[in-house]
Structure 1
Amino acid sequence: MITIKEVSELAKVSQSTVSRTLNGHASVKEKNRQKVFAAIEQLGYTPNAFAQALASSRSNSIGMLVGSLDGPFYGPLMHQAENTARENNRYLIVTSGQEQRSRELDSIRFLQSKRVDAMILHTDKLSDGELIEVVRNNPTTLILNRYIPEIAQHCLSFDNEQGGYLATQYLLNQGHTRIATITGQSSKIDSRERLRGYQRALQESNIEYDQNLIIEGRFDHSGNHEAVLKLLKRNTGATAVFCQNDAIALALYDVCYEQGIKVGQDLSIIGFDNDTYSQHIRPSLTTVNFPIAEMGKLSVDWVLGMLNTQPQPDSKPLVPELVIRDSVCALT
């Protein structure tokens, strides 16, 4: 196995110069840098990642905490984050909190034990105060999909409330006044913010908020058929349903098919997230676009900027967009 000592002897420079060259130090003279890389190419030397980490006090890894390791939301998020990390010669270490506070805390401790250079955290169960403390102890930490004013420059968020408002406002503009909504878990910040957007749109149109039109579902696929059936059995007279994500909308499509309800004619449906399948089901689903892949890329770019002490981006939330397809009809 070729060693750094052999590289330094062939290049006729010190071992510390070789190490600084491998770690990209600007202090290395261009002439010496060229000699080191020429020796590396001639010898076929492969740097030892662990040794590099010791020399630079960096692990060249980024830790990411997500709620789950599967599904149409977290999959694209992790995929794009990993691609961006690899493009920048970093590795992504991912762990899941599985919607449990104890596991989220344990996951953060695990990432810290791996001496990751930075952390990207998507958490529902930890309080603002707990996350503020994490950031204070780990300054190269980014909080995803959540805004905390005290650490605004460490937050990359999405305007979920505006997304809920856009979805409901569109249904109102199409003449619907009896609009039901199936939420995600009430424990999740996304659910509560999207519901606030729904309420704001109703209030602006002077339509009374009716708790009978609200059903709690889940952002994953479990239990949503039951939630849909519960809503339909209430006979609320709803002509439209705002589903707080596309997985919930898919369950509603299934039940409508089973009961002979024509989506886009008898019942209008609008989703949230713009998952890949939403354009392929029939009728294609009108939904609110959540730029999940963009958030994955931006999150890694953001922490790399922190590591390189570059100015941080504006902390304004990412903006939702309505994607109009065929699942909503206009009432005359």
Structure 2
Amino acid sequence: MATIKEVSELAKVSTATVSRVLNGHAYVKEENKRRVFEAMEMLNFQPNASAQALASNKTNSIGMLVGSFDSPFYGPLMHHVEEQVREKNMHLIVTSGQESLKKEQDSIEFLLAKQVDGLVLHSDKLSDDTLISLLLRHPNTMIVNRLVPEIAESCIYINNEQGGMIATQFLIENGHTEIACISGQMSKVDSRDRLQGYRNALGVAGLPYNPMYVIEGRFDHQGNHDAVRRLLDRAPQITAVFCQNDNIALAVYDVCAERGITIGKELSVIGFDNDSHSQHVRPRLTTIDYPVHRIGEVAAKALLARIENRKYSPSNSLVPELVERDSVCKLS
């Protein structure tokens, strides 16, 4: 196996120059870079990742915590983070918190033990104080889909409350006054914020908040069908449902099919996230677009800029937008 010394001798440069090329230093003459790369190719030189990490104090890796791997939300989020990371010839190490405080804590300690150069965290269970302390310990950290005011510059998030309000206002504008809401897990800040947006829209329109019209579901596929059945049984008078994500809306579609209820005519449905399947169900689902690609891209770019001591000043708060399709009818 070839060594750095052999590469330097063949390229007619110092071993220090070879080391600088391997570690991506900017101040290396182009001619010397060319000769080093040619020598590495001729010798089939494979740099040792551990040795590089020791030399540069970097591992060329980014750690990422997500809620779960079983979700149409986290896949695109991971994909768009990794796209940016791989452009820098770095690797992404991903772990899952699985809706457990202990597992989130263990996952972060695992990533830190790997000496990752930065962290991208989607945390539901860690407290604001814990995240603030973590940033003091590991400043190269970005929080996604959550705002912690004290570290707002390290948070990339969507205004979920505004999204819930936009969805509910759209139903009200279409003549609906008996509007239900099926939330995600109320342990999640997304769910609480979207529910607050629903309540805000009712208040602005002068409509009463009826707790019988609100039921807790889940952002994944577990138990949503039973939640929809319970809602329709106890509040058959509703004409519209705000579903706090598109998975929940799909459960509404299924239960309505069981009961012979026509969506878009007898019951209006609006979702949240704009998952890829939302435009393929029939009727096509009206929903709130969650720009997951932009969240992942901005979080990764901001983190990489921080690691490289570059300036990057994105808008940390992304605005949700209505995607109008066919699942909401206008009442006369």
TM-score category, normalised to shorter length: over 0.9
SS of the residue corresponding to residue 54 of structure 1 reads helix
Tell me by how many angstroms 1:312 deviates: 3.5
Worse-matched range after superposition: 159-168 or 230-239 = 230-239
Separation in 2, partners of 1:243, 1:127: 26
Separation in 2, partners of 1:60, 1:280: 40
Q: Give the letter for the 2:33 counterpart.
A: R
**Residue 308 of structure 1 pairs with residue 301 of structure 2:** no
Report matched runs for 1:150-299 at 5 Å: 150-299=150-299
**Residue 105 of structure 1 pairs with residue 140 of structure 2:** no
Task: Answer whether contact 1:62 1:92 (CA < 8 A) is retained.
Answer: yes
SS of the residue corresponding to residue 157 of structure 1 reads strand
SS of the residue corresponding to residue 79 of structure 1 reads helix
Q: Deviations over 1:119-149 (max 9, x none)?
A: 0000011110000000110000001101111
Report matched runs for 1:49-60 at 5 Å: 49-60=49-60
Provide TM-score, normalisation by structure 1: 0.97
Partner of 1:43: 43
Q: Deviations over 1:215-272 (max 9, x none)?
A: 0000000010110011011135110000000000000100000000000000000000
5+ residue gaps, structure 2:
none
Identity %: 58
Separation in 1, partners of 2:222, 2:328: 25
Separation in 1, partners of 2:67, 2:35: 47
C-alpha spacing 1:166/1:206, structure 2 compared with 1 (3 Å): same
Worse-matched range after superposition: 229-238 or 253-262 = 229-238
Kindly report the root-mean-square deviation, in angstroms, between the aligned alpha carbons of the 2 structures: 1.2
Q: Give the letter for the 1:109 counterpart.
A: E
Separation in 1, partners of 2:236, 2:155: 40
Separation in 2, partners of 1:304, 1:275: 27
Partner of 2:16: 16
5+ residue gaps, structure 1:
none
Worse-matched range after superposition: 184-193 or 27-36 = 27-36
Q: Deviations over 1:200-226 (max 9, x none)?
A: 111110111111110000000001011
Q: Number of matched residues?
A: 332
Separation in 1, partners of 2:322, 2:91: 34
Tell me by how many angstroms 1:41 deviates: 2.9
Task: Answer whether contact 2:264 2:283 (CA < 8 A) is retained.
Answer: yes
Segments ≥4 residues shifted beyond 4 Å: none
Q: Give the letter for the 2:167 counterpart.
A: A
Q: Give the letter for the 2:17 counterpart.
A: T
Separation in 2, partners of 1:177, 1:323: 21
Tell me by how many angstroms 1:70 deviates: 2.1
Partner of 2:133: 133
